[in-house]
Every structure is written in structure tokens, then in C-alpha cells.
Chain A
Amino acid sequence: MSIVDQILSGDTRATARLLRDIDDQAPSAHAILKELYPHTGKAHVVGFTGSPGVGKSTIVDQLTQLYRSDGLSVGILAVDPTSPFTGGAILGDRIRMQRHFLDEGVFIRSLATRGHFGGLTKSTNDMINVLDAMGKDVVLVETVGVGQDEIEIANSAHTTVLVTIPGMGDEIQAIKAGIMEIGNVFVVNKCDREGARKTARELRNLIELGVRRRGDNGWEPVILETEAAKNKGIQELYESIRKHRKYLAANDQGQLDEALQKRARTQLLEALRDEALKTLLARLESRGASLDAMVRQVVSRESDPYSLVQQVLSRELK
């Protein structure tokens, strides 16, 4: 069986090896991704974002249990940060999902950001596609939880779940209001803690501001309180996510088309950006032009980034 056929039939090792090649940016991965692409588009992709420690992994673990009880297979991508100093990473999200290790219907992959800023890795979209093609009904993506996560995940997922905990009220206020427009489901986890109601209220206020600004698009953002470690509120969260999926599928206002186009556009631009840069740098190298030399020119003020870029582009993009 070819690698592609192995993956399409759900083979763990072939899938894991392709994910590795994608992670390592091996050029050979592209050929396989091309063949797999027509087989994608079936999975429901759900993104989970929120600060470190709010309980994303625990929530993903609990939701996975519910998906499995309903006979759905699950792919999980859990992203953790790479140390900018050592290049290494500790990927510990799996600890929260131990009960699923032996379930053939659950595929869990831990990823390090490897220098990519934002909550996902460079190749998260490709990996989502692989798990989709492999036959997983749902792909749950858990981000690092800092910076521009929310935007990144919203462009890659069909449904975005934003998780927070009580006591982050002030932080919520300080957060760019745009975040509130991106989430489809908002969760206040660890709701047994003091301030849970207040946090939920503050979220509701911010969300309502956002809704008024973007106009009614048919989906009313849901705010839920959960205590994931005790499996409280998880059933309601599960139902909200599934409800959002149904809402998208109904497509009565083009919402599914919008979501699909957003994903595709993001993927395309990402791939373009990546390949264009690689190609340009390769061409520079083959001409004997040195990136380091250009860096030195910028530092010494002999030239500036803008002129250098113009020179490179006018030479290479005739």
C-alpha cells in the first residue's frame, strides 16, 4: 500500500510519520499532501484558545470522551511553546488525555511552535488536513495560549472556543475587543472559583459590543461556565459546539461558505508566503548574494531594508 493509501485507511504510523515530515518541513511532504487534499473537507475543526493554565487540555480530554460515546473519531493537535533560547520544548498536554491513549479512534499529536509566533505552528493547517484525510470526524486544535492565538486559530478552525478562568476580568477588559468577535463559544472554566459570575458578565458585555458592531450574522455567541476537572458543564459545551456545526452546515446566510473560504484563503496565503520566501532566498544563494551581507548593510546604514527588498524583487520578479 502506498503511503497515501495507508493514511486514508487510518494507519497510525504512516500518519505519524507524515506529520513528522510536515513538522520538519521536508519537501517530500508536499507530494503526499497534494494527493491527500481531495480527501479533506469532512472533519469538523474546533480550535481552543485561551491563556496557559485555563484548562484547555482538560476540556479537550472531556469533550473527546463525549465524541467517542457518540461514535465519532477524534484527532487532537496540542501545541506548546518552543523555548526561544534552547530550541527545545516540553510537550505536556498529553498528560491530561491518558485515558484515550489506547483508543484507536483517537489520534493525539503534540507539537512545538518551533519559532513560529502566534499560537499555532507553521504547519498546523497541513496537519489538520492530514487528520481529516485520515478519517477523523473531528479535529480539536489546542493552541499555546498567548499573543495572537485567537486570530490564528479562528482562521484555521470552523468553530473557535475561547477559554478563560475567573479572576481574569481585568485582563479581559484589556484584551483587544476583536477577540470577542472571533469566538463562537466562550467558556469560563474553573467556575467554582470566586468571581466566575462576574467574569461571565464581563464577557457578555464585551461580546454584545462586538455583536452590535458586526451586525447580526445569525449565530449568538454562547457563554458557558464549566469545571472541566469535575466534568461539569462539559455536556453543554459539547452541545454548543455541535450546534455551531449544524448552524454552519445550514448555510442559509452563506456562513459555511464564509468559513470554508476563510480557511482556504489562510492556507493559500501561508503556503504562498512560505514558498515565495524559500524561492527568493534560494535564488539569492545561487547568485552568490548573501543574506548576511545584506544584514550587515542594514546595520551599518549603508543601505536600508526597503531599498534592499526593492532591489531583490526587481531582480527576481521580472
Chain B
Amino acid sequence: MSEEKKVRILIAKPGLDGHDRGARIIARVLRDAGFEVIYTGCHQTPEQIVSAALQEDVDLIGLSILSGAHMYSFPRVMELLKERNAEDIAVIGGGIFPLDDIPKLKEAGIKEIFEPGAKLDDIVQWVSRNVVPREAMAV
């Protein structure tokens, strides 16, 4: 019998932004693509997001933000992942970002940013191509 590995993804909304339709749609689309999606909802602090990501041993964190607070939350999440030795967890973002900020976010370690108008299929394709389930621990 083969090992049954699934990509685990955490979808969360940091900060005060309560508009979660996009995040919910992404969660559903990713489920339909065969991934396991842990959806933690709105009003998460970067600390809460990273704590959940570690307990759930996810391969990918997807942050949804429409409020403009991305230049705080995103780098803060990257900082916390570094502190907890968890830089192997990939992070992507979706939502509304000023064009100038996108390169800065990528420099901070965010692997990809999806803006309004991004095709759902493109997002799924990106995940399928760039995220693999973690290898089992060597004993």
C-alpha cells in the first residue's frame, strides 16, 4: 500500500479585515483540488496564524487581506516562521495590494501574490506545481 500524502494548507485572514468571501472560495476550490485546508477565519494575529500552522504541520499558508495592513502582517508572519525554525512552510497572499508593495512582499519571502482577477485555476495550478507534502521524518 502506498503512503497517502496530502498537501495541508492553512488559510487565514490576519488583522481587522472581516471580508472573508474570497478566502472561503479559495478554501473550497483548494478542497475540490484534493488538498486539506485548515480554515481559521478572520481576525487572526500573525502569532495565532503561525501557532496554528505549526500545530497543523501545514505545507503552505495562504493569507487573505484586503485592508491594506499587509506590510505589517505578512513580514511579521515570515519573521515568526523564522523564529520557530519553520521557514520550510511556504507563504502566499491574496487580496488587494499596491503594485509597489508586491516586490517588497516577495523580498520578505512571500512566494506569490494573487490579486483581484486572478483565476482560481491559476491559484490551484500554482499550489500543485510549487507545494509538495512534507517528507516523513527520518528515524
Interface on A for B, CB 8 Å cutoff?
A: 3, 12-13, 16-21, 24-29, 31-32, 82-83, 86-92, 94-95, 98, 101-102, 107-110, 112, 114, 277-278, 281-282
Contact = CB atoms under 8 A, between A and B. Distances in A.
Contacts of B47: 101-102
Contacts of B28: 90
B125 interface: no
Nearest to B48: A101
Contacts of A114: 4, 6
B40 A25 contact: no
Contacts of B85: 13
Interface in B1-18: 1, 3-6, 8
A70 B61 CA distance: 33
B27 interface: yes
B96 interface: no
Nearest to B27: A90
Contacts of A282: 1
B36 A91 contact: yes
Interface in B26-53: 27-28, 30-41, 43-44, 47-48, 51-52
A15 to B, nearest CB: 8
B60 to A, nearest CB: 13
Contacts of A112: 6, 36
Nearest to A20: B57
Contact of B32 (A3, A86, A94): A86
Contacts of B3: 24-27
B55 interface: yes
B138 interface: yes
A89 B54 contact: no
B139 A87 contact: no
Given A13-B85, A83-B32, A86-B33, 14 more contacts: A3-B137, A13-B54, A16-B55, A17-B134, A20-B8, A24-B3, A24-B6, A27-B3, A28-B139, A86-B34, A89-B36, A91-B39, A98-B43, A278-B1
Contacts of A98: 40-41, 43-44, 48
Interface of B: 1, 3-6, 8, 27-28, 30-41, 43-44, 47-48, 51-52, 54-57, 84-86, 133-134, 136-139
B41 A17 contact: no
Contacts of B43: 98
Contact of B55 (A82, A108, A278): A108
Contacts of A3: 137, 139
Which of B1, B30, B54, B139 has the largest number of chain A CB atoms within 10 A? B139
B134 A20 contact: yes
Contacts of A32: 137, 139
Contacts of A21: 136-137
A286 to B, nearest CB: 13
A107 B86 CA distance: 17
A26 B4 CA distance: 8
A17 B57 contact: yes
Contact of A89 (B37, B55, B137): B37
Nearest to A277: B1
Contact of A90 (B1, B37, B44): B37
22 contacts: A16-B55, A17-B134, A20-B8, A20-B57, A20-B134, A24-B133, A25-B4, A27-B3, A86-B31, A86-B33, A88-B34, A90-B28, A91-B39, A94-B40, A94-B52, A98-B40, A98-B43, A101-B52, A102-B47, A110-B56, A112-B6, A278-B1
